[in-house]
Copies of this chain bind each other. A is one copy, B any other.
Amino acid sequence: MNNDNAACTTRADCEALDLADSLAPARERFLLPDGVVYLDGNSLGPLPAATVARLDSAVRKEWGGGLIRSWNDAEWVTLPQRIGGTIATMLGARIDEIVAADSTSVNIFKLLAGALVLASRQDKPRHVILSERSNFPTDLYIAQGVSAALGGSYPLRLVADDIEAAFDEHVAVALITHVDYRTGRMHDMKRLNAAAKKAGIRIIWDLSHSAGAVPVALNDCDAELAVGCGYKYLNGGPGAPAFLYVAHALQHDFPTPLSGWFGHAAPFDFSAEYVPAPGITRLQCGTPPMLAMIALESGLATFAGLSMSDLRRKSLALSDLFWSLMDASCEEFGFVCVSPHEHASRASQLAFAHDDAHAIMQAIIARGVIGDFRQPNLLRFGFTPLYLRHTDVWDAVNVIRDVMQSGAWKEDRYLQRNIVT
C-alpha cells in the first residue's frame, strides 16, 4: 500500500500520529477492557461510558419509579422517532424519514413485502427479487421467506457480481447491502440508484455495515428504502434495535404488512380497524423495547459533535496502516487481503484470506486482539476511528506476527470450532 502511513515504520511513529489525532479524545467515550485491541466494532460496538449511568437511571427512575407513567412522562412513546431523527442526520436523510424498530431482519421483511405489494400494483407487475449471492445471509433468508409467505410467486434471483447488469424488466426490487460484510467492498449508491430508477426497479439498501462507518447521503443519492443495524458501528448494545428509512415520496402509500399497533395512526384509541400512521411511524410494529432503545440512543451520542468526514479520514488511515503493516511484517505467512484497494469502494473494515483463518483468529483473540472469523477462510478486522489508536493497529499486527512466527495458532484449543458471531 502506498499511503500516508507508509512512513510509519516504528511504534513511535504511531504514537506521534495518535498525539496529533484530533479524534483521540473520543476514545474516552467508551469503556474498553484493558489489554484488548478491539477490531470487531463492526460486529458489536463496545460499551459507551455514558450508557452505564443512562441505563441505570432508565431502569431505576423511569421504569422503577415512573412505572407505566414513563411512556408519557419520560417520553418513551416517541423515542423510536427521536432516535430515527438522530440516525437520519447521520445518514443524510430528513429527520422524519427514519425510525428505530425491531431487528434488521424484520425491517427487511417490512420493506421488501411492502415494495413487492407496490410492484404488483403497477400496470406491468414485476415479481423478481434481485440480490447478490454474497449478501449477508439474513437478507437472503428473509427474501426467501417473503416469497414463501406471498405464495412463492416472488422468485429470488442471485448474481455473483455486477448486480447492475442484472437490472431488467422482470426485477421488482433489488435488495443490496451497501457494504459487503466480509470484504468491506462498498457500492456506489448514487450510481446504482440512478440505474435502478431508469430500469423501474426499487432498491432496498442494507446499511448495516455503513451507518456510523462511512459517509452516507440517502437523500442526495435518491435512495428510496433502507434498513440498518443498531449494534455495530452505532454502539447500541448487543441485539440493539435496528432502523429503517422510507423516503418522503414513498411514505404516504407505503404498505405495511407487519401492521402492529405502534404503527397505527391512533394506537391508544384501541379501534378494531387498522389505520396506518401518516409518516414513518407506520413502519413500527409492536411495543418497542424501551431499555434497548435507550441504550441505542446513548450509543448514538458517541458521535456527538464529530464530523463523519473526519471519522472517515481516520478510518481509512487506520485501515491503510493495518494493511501496510501486514504487508511489511506478515507477508511470509500467506495472508491475502480480499478487500478493495481503492478508498472509494472500501468501507471501514478489512478481510484477509488464509487457510487457517479460524484457528489464527482464535489465537489472536486469546491474546487480546479481537477480530472475527467469517466463512469460509476470512479474518475480518473493523477499524472504528472513535476509539482505535494507531498504536492499537501497530500492536495488533505485532500480535498476529508473533502468533504466526511461534506457530501458537496450532494449539488444539484454537483448532476447535465454536460459534462465533
Contacts and interface: CB of A to CB of B under 8 A. Distances in A.
A70 B418 CA distance: 13
Contacts of A193: none
A146 B56 contact: no
Contact of A105 (B67, B255, B260, B419): B260
B151 A274 contact: no
Nearest to A240: B289
A223 to B, nearest CB: 22
Interface string A177-198: 0000000000000000000000
Interface in A369-384: 370, 372, 374-375
A69 to B, nearest CB: 7
B138 A257 contact: no
A268 B421 contact: yes
Interface in A8-51: 31-33, 36, 38, 40, 43-44, 46-47, 51
Contacts of A146: 257
A150 interface: yes
A258 B137 contact: no
Give how many copies assemble into the complex: 2
Assign chain A's interface to a size class. 35 or more
A68 B370 contact: yes
B33 A65 contact: yes
A236 to B, nearest CB: 9
Contact of A68 (B264, B372, B375): B372
A259 interface: yes
B267 A137 contact: yes
Nearest to A64: B47
Interface stretch (A280-288, A323-331, A349-357, A390-398): A280-288
A89 interface: no
B259 A148 contact: yes
Contacts of A272: 133, 135, 137, 140, 158
A140 B261 CA distance: 9
B421 A258 contact: no
A106 B260 contact: yes
A69 B365 contact: yes
